[in-house]
């Protein structure tokens, strides 16, 4: 039983972080049909920028986090301006290729600035062990769940309540009609990329807080795929539910079966989902009538 709770908490931590990363991914796909292969690098950059804020500039973590988010917004806007806008009207596959190029570029920039060595991350969240229902976990994991959960809640409010949220959903549904409502589609794309970079940065900082920073953090970008395929590429609730399910699944498989199966289980799920329900749990079923 202790093991179960332990694994559940570990799984929820990973799941919440995965959900944050997946949220940005879904947002970009929803608003512009682009599959963003650079999502993992956004995570990486977020972690490293946070690292610099804490270590090199010795800032308190609150200010560091705000500055990190600002940098993320800057990156999001820059990517939209420099990479996506020139590609408007090009086939969607070109744009997706551009995001693959972008991911290599961002990774190179990161290793130029910060090097390739994994480094210890100054814990900005207390990590002393706490006892929950008989299990012992680091407090940082609980904090990570709380922070990620809070962010997901805020972004959900944003989508349902705010003017920009409504506009973003409108653009996702029908760009032409959105333009005719006075919505600037380019601005909405910039919003989507900025939010994707922000959620990834938060996710990156949370992961780094637990495992330290290193180039392998970008691997999170790949783990987002099972999450979004499971939840549905264009569903925000799907990203959250998918993230939690994949996080828990990896933890349970790792704890009860082991043998490295936890590394691949999510991709096995990915393949199964694609065979059984290709639009995911909450995704929009696309029926093409000819």
Which residues lie near another protein (CB under 8 A)? 154, 157-158, 161-167, 169-170, 172-174, 176-185, 284
CA dist list (Å): 196 to 20, 21, 27, 128, 258: 9, 7, 7, 31, 33
DSSP bridge pairs for 138: 129
User: Taking a C-beta distance cutoff of 8 angstroms, is the pair 183, 207 a contact?
Assistant: no
β-pairing verdict for 129-132 and 135-138:
antiparallel
Q: Min. distance of Cβ 152 from another protein in angstroms? A: 13
Q: Which is nearer to another protein, 102 or 151 (CB)?
A: 151
> Between 9 and 239, whose beta carbon lies closer to another protein?
239
Nearest to 23 by CA among 241, 281, 280, 272: 241
> Nearest approach, Cβ of 167 to another protein (angstroms)?
5
Copy the structure tokens of residue 191. 């919003």
Q: Which of 58, 176 has the CB closer to another protein?
A: 176
**Residue 153 Cβ vs another protein, minimum distance, rounded to whole Å:** 10
Task: For the CB of residue 162, give the shortest distance to another protein in the complex, in Å.
Answer: 3
Judged by CB, which is closer to another protein: 157, or 257? Answer: 157
Task: Please identify, using beta-carbon distances, which residue of 133 and 177 lies nearer to another protein.
Answer: 177
Count the neighbouring beta carbons within 10 Å of the beta carbon of residue 267. Answer: 14
Contact by Cβ (8 Å): 114, 212:
no
Taking the complex as a whole, how short is the minimal distance between the CB of residue 57 and another protein, in angstroms?
25
What token pair was written down for 119? 């480094």
**Closer residue to another protein in complex, CB, 131/163:** 163
Distance CA 217, CA 228 (A): 18
How near is the Cβ of 142 to another protein at its closest, in Å?
Answer: 24
**Measured CA angle at 89 (ends 88, 93), to 5 deg:** 90
In three-state secondary structure terms, 176 is helix
């Amino acid at each position: 039983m202790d093991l179960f709770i332990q694994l559940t908490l570990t799984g929820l931590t990973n799941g919440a972080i995965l959900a944050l990363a997946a949220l940005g991914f879904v947002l970009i796909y929803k608003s512009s049909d682009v599959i963003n292969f650079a999502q993992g690098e956004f995570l990486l950059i977020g972690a490293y920028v946070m690292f610099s804020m804490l270590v090199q500039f010795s800032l308190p973590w609150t200010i560091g986090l705000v500055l990190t988010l600002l940098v993320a917004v800057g990156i999001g806007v820059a990517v939209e301006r420099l990479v996506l806008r020139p590609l408007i009207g090009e086939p969607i596959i070109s744009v997706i290729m551009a995001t693959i190029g972008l991911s290599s570029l961002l990774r190179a920039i990161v290793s130029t600035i910060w090097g390739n060595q994994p480094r210890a991350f100054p814990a900005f969240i207390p990590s002393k062990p706490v006892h929950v229902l008989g299990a012992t976990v680091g407090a940082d994991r609980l904090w990570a769940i709380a922070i990620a959960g809070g962010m997901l809640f805020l972004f959900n409010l944003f989508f349902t309540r705010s003017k920009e949220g409504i506009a973003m959903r409108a653009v996702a549904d029908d760009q032409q009609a959105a333009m005719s409502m006075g919505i600037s589609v380019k601005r909405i794309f910039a919003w989507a990329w900025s939010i994707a970079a922000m959620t990834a940065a938060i996710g990156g900082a949370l992961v780094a807080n637990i495992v330290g920073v290193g180039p392998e953090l970008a691997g999170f970008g790949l783990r987002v795929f099972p999450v979004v395929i499971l939840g549905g590429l264009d569903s925000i609730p799907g990203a959250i539910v998918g993230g939690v399910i994949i996080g828990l699944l990896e933890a349970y498989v790792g704890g009860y079966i082991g043998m490295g199966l936890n590394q691949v289980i999510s991709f096995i799920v990915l393949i199964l989902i694609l065979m059984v329900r290709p639009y995911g749990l909450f995704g929009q079923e696309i029926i093409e009538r000819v």
